[in-house]
Amino acid sequence: MGDRSAIEWTESTWNPTTGCDRISPGCDNCYALTLARRLKAMGSPKYQNDGDPRTSGPGFAVTVHPAALDIPRRWTAPRLIFVNSMSDLFHAKVPLSFVRDVFATMAETPQHTYQVLTKRSKRLRDLSGKLDWPANVWMGVSVESDEYLSRIGHLREVPAAVRFVSAEPLLAPLSEVDLRGIHWLIAGGESGPGARPMDYAWVSQLRDHCTQAGVPFFFKQWGGRTPKDGGRDLDGRVWDEFPVAAAH
């Protein structure tokens, strides 16, 4: 699996851990679980510890990969790097010692900008005081509906240089979203077989909230059977704003 990414809001992916499990409706059609199954069948060494969700539960075994910690050190040119596209760094099965190792790599490679995204916002908050937060780490939480807005509250307590929200897949309006202390918001619809539809009003409302709050807004996709099916236009334009702290 190459390190360059087709995800519109990043450039590369880096997976020092693999494996995860479903914890909320946004995980129901997780692309990472499907891809991990495929990579295991192809013989990819990194995914051989993973189980099959059809027989071993709703996820794949969480595995840490110490050998992967040095990968960003070999990338000399600056990159925007999505950390753990195939896992969640703040999963309960990732030891604090390894989270610290990941943060050490990020601190020692200041030429890069790292985007870390989690649904385990409570553990993020609880561990944040035990971590050193370099200026090149952006920390985000995934929020798919109002039911999970508490994740943003947890994120606000984290001393990251950039705090962001990923409203993807957006499954319902975020009518009560509070953007205080938030520096960026990404929104997008679900893609893949069985993708759940996203309403125009949900997206336009979020865009308007961001505009009023002065928060950069990035619209990733409408979604559909493939990520490109619905395109990216919202009201006649592509919204691809980044935080002011962006290095790219």
Question: What are the residue ranges spanned by the domains of the chain?
Answer: 68-238
> What is the structure's pLDDT at 2?
52
* C-alpha–C-alpha distance, residues 82 and 112, integer Å: 11
- Whether 134 has a pLDDT exceeding 50, the answer reads yes
Band the pLDDT of 218: cuts 50, 70, 90. very high
User: Over the chain, what is the mean pLDDT?
Assistant: 91
Contact 144, 26 (CB under 8 A): yes
pLDDT band at 56, cuts 50/70/90?
Answer: very low
Percent of the chain clearing pLDDT 70 (strictly above): 90
Distances in Å between the Cα of 209 and the Cα atoms of 13, 161, 203 are: 29, 21, 10
- Output the pLDDT for position 221: 96
**Considering the entire predicted model, what is its pTM?**
0.91
The mean pLDDT of 56-76, rounded to a whole number, is: 85
Please name the amino acid found at residue 104: A
Q: To the nearest whole percent, how much of the chain has pLDDT over 90?
A: 75
- Of 105, 155, 110, 91, nearest to 128 by C-alpha is 155
Handedness of CA 126, 20, 57, 33 (dihedral sign): positive
